[in-house]
Structure 1
Amino acid sequence: MSGLYERRLLRVEKSFGVLEKLWSVPWLFVLMLCAMATVGYVALYSAGGGNPDAYATKHALRFGFGLVMMVGIALIDIRLIARLSWLGYAVGLALLVLVMVHGQVGKGAQRWVELGPVQLQPSELMKILLVLALASWFQKATWEKVGNLFFLLPPAIAVLVPMGLILKQPNLGTALITGAIGAAIFWSVGVRWWKFGLLFGAVAVAAPIAYDHLHDYQRARITTFLDPESDPLGAGYNIIQSKIALGSGGMWGKGFLQGTQGHLNFLPEKQTDFIFTMIAEEFGFVGAIGTLALLALVVAFAFLVAIRCRHQYGRLVGVGLATNFFLYVFVNIAMVTGSIPVGGVPLPLISHGGSAMITAMLGFGLLASAWVHRDVEFTSAKE
């Protein structure tokens, strides 16, 4: 009888634990994500010419699924996630290899793989899994260990291997972002500055050689970036039309569904890479700044997680995912404004795309889990 009572008591305690975790979920952060997804829905509704079935409905359904997934991940003990970090990394590498063997080719690149009814871009998922793996490796690293080159060699290889596989697709932009995420985590754990200096020196020396091995369309993007008017109807067309749309929006924009560059199909990839240009044309400078403010708040929350976590694993997860999200936003905005060469990087929670949406919500779920479990005792990744 006492055993039955104890089991019932244990179930009650567990239920209270789940309720407490639900209460601890950063609901203000969830509200910010809903606001971002709403901006995306409005922009995609316009990109579809006022037809929600073109892009907006799928966007809403994906976000709804991602939101449920995010809250579910937030309730998972961060220590369990830490124990599974390297297993997840291995799965990510296997998916990248699968892309090379059986991946689908689209727009000259082999980046997607079919997993039943789902089309997945493993390079997006790999960035999240890399953050978890590096956080697990450095979780209990001391200052002395971080100064040891042999201790830094395995995580360095863990960064370079997926970078190489992503470059083979080819996907230069995502490969560079992957490397930058790794560098941010290495910097966060206290890797000496002179080692970064050696790395940047090696990159500078290798850059001319790497340029010679780029694909023709990649070299064309760099040439067009330097002089868009050199090929206004070819490689320079996208960025020229993007700048026209950005400038024509003015302070307040042309109005919802009134953007001429987008609706007359001058603007390429308006539902994905150039969605920010659609927003700026129809809602002007004010709408563009409001969108950027929402995106900045998400980055700020990720860094807040890094600051508030008592354990190193959560801090590094916060830094890594903040870097990933920031680079997504920075590269996309810099691309559509002509500040960097054009590349296929979507705007998180706003652009149309399944893989980008689901992996972003996975990352936000991990941030929420780190927040919910920010005060747990975290003595070992193997605990």
Structure 2
Amino acid sequence: MEKRSLIHKIDFLWNGLDKTLGLIVLALVAISIVTFISATSGTHVQFIDQARNLIVSIGVMLIVSRIPPKWLEKSAIWIYTIGIALLLAVAAFGLIKKGARRWVNIGIVIQPSEIMKIAMPMMLAWYFQRREGVLKTWDYGVAALLLILPVALIGRQPDLGTALLVLASGIYVIILAGFPWKYIIPVVGAGTLGILLIIIFGGYICEPEVKWYLLHEYQKNRVCTLLNPSSDPLGKGFHTIQSIIAIGSGGLFGKGWLNGTQAHLEFIPEKHTDFIFAVFAEEFGLLGNIILLGLFVALIQRGLAISSNAPTLFTRLLGGAVTMIFFTYAFVNMGMVSGLLPVVGVPLPFISYGGTALVTLGIGVGILMSIHRYRRLVQS
């Protein structure tokens, strides 16, 4: 009897997975490893930590990819409820780090807001699946209430970046569920007008004596720094100015791996986490940026293709929302690092150093893999 190789014995792990999506993720992981090694050169951060995080993330992806979407649908309300309970626990007795109450100790220290990035679209997709065929206008109001509660709890911590990501994940589901454009267009118009007014009157509203009652002082500073980073080049504007210099100095082909001066002379802050894109852009230039952007576009395109071919409303909504979360991560991070958006602490998907964030991304890819595998099984 012919002996089976180890690869053939464990081929059940990737059997049925979407190979295109898998190759895209592996390419991003390869870029992450190369960039991380350069970004942490001469620092106390160890590559073994990021390698462990990536392995855990890929492991979680493989596990989730084996879970039938029907099971995800049945567990959605429970995962959402547990997430809300943990957010309430954070508000009541959560741990405070760097002035923010975002963590809770349940035997291990976790950040419950990360759970809601996946739990929120799962819950809303479950709700709209239940209302399929009898959907009324007021159902969107119910969905909005389900969305506002965790966003408010996360924003109160305060954690504006995560709150915006959870809000976006819920809004994507609501829009994909058929929310009328006649209501969306006025909101987009009002938001655009608000941005224009902030730009026009930025010099006045950013004066120290002017209070922004809906935002914390540090959040006001981030918006004002975006409008005029040179107003405090060695303080609040330092992050933005140095990252823009790094991106610009990369030129067409970059300075070469391990040769980025802004990164290795310690001018780029948080260079292995939120600002790792600046390190990559300086060392690999415009050409490297185009390749990286191409991979993210391919990731989003493949995720939407899997979602559009999904067999149920739940899987279409969940897959579409998860894919658009990847887009939001990449868009916000790159916009933040290049000075187009305020600094909000959003990592670059699969590139930035992180534990919980990488696991969340792994779950997201695993969900898309599960949707793809389930569709294949239904058709076979």
TM-score strictly above 0.5? yes
Letter in 1 for 2:78: L
Match in the other structure for 1:286: 287
How far apart, CA to CA, are the structure 1 residues paired with 2:269 and 2:53? Answer: 23
Match in the other structure for 2:161: 173
- The answer to whether the Cα contact below 8 Å between 1:311 and 1:374 also exists between their aligned partners in 2 is no
1:239-268 CA-partner distances (Å, limit 9, x unpaired): 000011001111111111111111111111
Note closer, same or farther for the CA distance 1:105–1:296 as it changes in structure 2 (3 Å cut): farther
Match in the other structure for 1:240: 241
Three-state SS of the structure 2 residue aligned to 1:139 is helix
- Structure 1 window deviating more from structure 2 (295-304 vs 199-208): it is 199-208
Three-state SS of the structure 2 residue aligned to 1:271 is coil
Which ranges of structure 2 fall in alignment gaps of 5 or more residues? Answer: 1-9, 199-209
How far apart, CA to CA, are the structure 1 residues paired with 2:30 and 2:234? Answer: 34
Residue 195 of structure 1, CA deviation: 3.0
Residue 115 of structure 1, CA deviation: 4.4
How far apart, CA to CA, are the structure 2 residues paired with 1:205 and 1:229? Answer: 25
Matches within 5 A, 1:171-320: 171-197=159-185, 211-320=212-321
Three-state SS of the structure 2 residue aligned to 1:84 is helix
Note closer, same or farther for the CA distance 1:47–1:104 as it changes in structure 2 (3 Å cut): farther
Residue 173 of structure 1, CA deviation: 2.3
- The answer to whether the Cα contact below 8 Å between 1:159 and 1:179 also exists between their aligned partners in 2 is yes
Residue 102 of structure 1, CA deviation: 3.3
Letter in 1 for 2:215: L
- In structure 2, which of residues 61, 65, 73 is the aligned counterpart of residue 82 of structure 1? 73
- In structure 2, which of residues 112, 116, 137 is the aligned counterpart of residue 122 of structure 1? 112
- The answer to whether the Cα contact below 8 Å between 2:300 and 2:326 also exists between their aligned partners in 1 is yes
Three-state SS of the structure 1 residue aligned to 2:129 is coil
1:43-78 CA-partner distances (Å, limit 9, x unpaired): 111111167x72422111111122122112111111
- Structure 1 window deviating more from structure 2 (368-377 vs 193-202): it is 193-202
Match in the other structure for 1:36: 28
Residue 290 of structure 1, CA deviation: 1.3
Match in the other structure for 1:93: 84
Which ranges of structure 1 fall in alignment gaps of 5 or more residues? Answer: 1-17, 378-383
1:61-103 CA-partner distances (Å, limit 9, x unpaired): 1111221221121111111111011101111112222222333
Three-state SS of the structure 1 residue aligned to 2:256 is coil
Note closer, same or farther for the CA distance 1:114–1:35 as it changes in structure 2 (3 Å cut): farther
Note closer, same or farther for the CA distance 1:19–1:33 as it changes in structure 2 (3 Å cut): closer
How far apart, CA to CA, are the structure 1 residues paired with 2:193 and 2:247? Answer: 36
Letter in 1 for 2:111: Q
Note closer, same or farther for the CA distance 1:285–1:114 as it changes in structure 2 (3 Å cut): farther
Percentage identity across aligned positions? 37
How far apart, CA to CA, are the structure 2 residues paired with 1:204 and 1:44? Answer: 36
- The answer to whether the Cα contact below 8 Å between 2:66 and 2:370 also exists between their aligned partners in 1 is yes
Is 1:107 aligned with 2:98?
yes
Match in the other structure for 2:4: none
Three-state SS of the structure 1 residue aligned to 2:15 is helix
Matches within 5 A, 1:133-144: 133-142=123-132
Letter in 2 for 1:196: I
Residue 238 of structure 1, CA deviation: 0.6
1:297-321 CA-partner distances (Å, limit 9, x unpaired): 2111210111111211111111110
Match in the other structure for 1:381: none
Three-state SS of the structure 2 residue aligned to 1:138 is helix
Note closer, same or farther for the CA distance 1:186–1:292 as it changes in structure 2 (3 Å cut): same
Match in the other structure for 1:10: none
Residue 139 of structure 1, CA deviation: 1.6
Match in the other structure for 2:201: none
How far apart, CA to CA, are the structure 1 residues paired with 2:377 and 2:186? Answer: 38
Match in the other structure for 1:8: none
The Cα RMSD (Å) is 2.6
Note closer, same or farther for the CA distance 1:46–1:204 as it changes in structure 2 (3 Å cut): closer
Note closer, same or farther for the CA distance 1:227–1:157 as it changes in structure 2 (3 Å cut): same
- The answer to whether the Cα contact below 8 Å between 2:104 and 2:111 also exists between their aligned partners in 1 is yes
Three-state SS of the structure 2 residue aligned to 1:23 is coil
Match in the other structure for 2:143: 155
How far apart, CA to CA, are the structure 2 residues paired with 1:246 and 1:34? Answer: 24
Note closer, same or farther for the CA distance 1:120–1:229 as it changes in structure 2 (3 Å cut): same
Match in the other structure for 2:3: none
Residue 42 of structure 1, CA deviation: 1.2
Three-state SS of the structure 2 residue aligned to 1:112 is strand
1:340-366 CA-partner distances (Å, limit 9, x unpaired): 111100011110111111111011111
- The answer to whether the Cα contact below 8 Å between 2:307 and 2:368 also exists between their aligned partners in 1 is no
How far apart, CA to CA, are the structure 2 residues paired with 1:199 and 1:374? Answer: 36
- The answer to whether the Cα contact below 8 Å between 1:70 and 1:361 also exists between their aligned partners in 2 is yes
- The answer to whether the Cα contact below 8 Å between 1:42 and 1:56 also exists between their aligned partners in 2 is no
Q: How many residues align?
A: 357
How far apart, CA to CA, are the structure 2 residues paired with 1:169 and 1:237? Answer: 25
